[in-house]
Amino acid sequence: MRYALLLLIGLLAACQPAASNNGLPDFTGLVEENSPAVVNIATSIDPSKAETSVREQVPDFLRKFFEGMQEQEIPDQPHQAEATGSGFIIEEDGYILTNRHVVDGADHIIVRLSDRRELEAELVGQDERSDLALLKVDADDLPTVKIGSSAKLKVGEWVLAIGAPFGFDSSVTAGIVSAKGRSLPSENYVPFIQTDVAINPGNSGGPLFNLDGDVVGINSQIISRNGGYMGLSFAIPIDIAMDVVAQLKDKGRVSRGWLGVLIQPVDRDLAPSFGLDKPTGALVSQVLADSPAAAAGIQAGDVILKFNGEEIEDSSELPQVVGLLVPGVEAPMEVMRDGKLTTLSVAVGELPDDAEQRFTPGMNNTAEPANVLGLTVAPLSKSDSEEFDLKHGVQVLTVTDGPAATAGIQPGDIILSVNNKPVENPNEFNALVKDLPESSTVPILVFRDGGSRFIALKLP
């Protein structure tokens, strides 16, 4: 019995991560096992295909300096550009995962293995929105990593990165998970894993491991004031990455779900005017024509609180939840409309390449007198209506001191609704403004730079 108990204790101890004498984890076994599957990636552009030369890159104000020089004196040879990054082998027959920005635009991709072999890689596919690329080298029986689950990752958990920062192969850094589901301005469809693992140029595309030696993320970005590590590192969750890999292998491209709405956060000023007791959800500021959202009856002013069973606490979460769905799926959603909770169903579409639309509003010269908000408005012209696909609204010509200026309304804005009531013409606009309750905050829907946005207007 005693020996059986000792054996059981020994087995339990073997299942736990190794720890050093000071109580911190011992990463040596993890590194020894996984380093061979991490690769260094170098890219280059053929000199014959380089788009610019030194001569072409000279600023206009310096071109006179070169006038009169002999042709042979002018540097005009295209140069070979190189970049380095990291990657890791996910299949023993040569499939390698890395960041798209590591290999984007390259004519040649060279993968250096841990045994010092250098192999030219083929780009199987890439996905700009997730910043992922899938490579393939001609080799067999390669060492591979174990793919884990980023969904099971917990904040505060130890993680480790292996990569080639500044070209130093097989560099190891460790830290903890600082947060999950982070949104970055440049990436709308990736809920990043935030860590304090030291990541620097060259780490991009390298794996992020948990203590079990499973890959849980792909180190991708940092936030820095000086270009170096400052304690904020971001990794793409491996669950999302492997879905991208499957689609790239299957069809060479990635499909994502799409609603066809422009959204914005709900701040504490806007929340009460939409019947919310706290800032939460994704506020719909515009519904694109002929989109899945339009077909489902979604309206500007709806606040999406739940989508396909997922709570939407911040507006940045909605694109991530929708993007993971297969186009064609029927998804339920809960919205707050006119202070009442409403349930809708939408047939999710496929995200088009030109989903982001940009417009530049024009001007109209027929003005109405300024109102108590400090605005001078004009009717919406036929050309603006057709160009921007707007059914109604008035255009702001001038902004004087007053609540509108304080709220940030600008000349050229097109006001679509006041206090959730659509505006058809300047007379109707002034009538709505006249009836606004004093000492309150009301939402104003403004069309600007190709998109609509609610602005909280505080009345004296």
> Which residue, among 168, 176, 246, 181, has the nearest Cα to 208 in the 3D structure?
176
End-to-end CA gap in the chain: 82
Residues in CB range of 400: below 8 A, 6 or more apart: 370, 374, 375, 376
Rounded Cα–Cα distance for residues 180 and 255 (Å): 24
∠ CA(34), CA(40), CA(42), 5° rounding?
Answer: 165
Q: What are the respective helix, strand and coil percentages of the chain, to the nearest 5? A: 20, 35, 45
Report the catalytic residues. Answer: 101, 131, 204
- φ, ψ of residue 88 to 5 degrees: the values are -150, 150
Residue 19 per-residue DSSP state = B
| Concatenated DSSP letters of 321-353 | HHHTSPTT-EEEEEEEETTEEEEEEEE-EEPPT
| Local structure of residue 71 (DSSP, 8 states) | G
Residue 158 DSSP SS3: strand
Alpha helix ranges (H) inside 22-128: 28-34, 54-57, 63-66, 100-103
Judging by DSSP bridges, how do beta strands 375-379 and 340-347 pair with one another?
unpaired
The neighbour count for residue 151, using CB atoms within 10 Å, is 10
Half-sphere exposure of 429 (CA within 13 A, CB side): 30
Backbone conformation region of residue 439, classed left if phi is above 0, alpha if psi is from -120 to 50, else beta: left
Query: What's the one-letter identity of residue 441?
Result: T
Report the distance separating Cα 241 and Cα 386, nearest Å.
41
Question: Mapping DSSP to helix (H, G, I), strand (E, B) and coil, where does residue 359 land?
Answer: coil
Residues 6+ apart with CB under 8 A from 365: 378
Distance CA 303, CA 284 (A): 6
- Structure token digits, residue 81: 């550009």
Residue type, 44: S
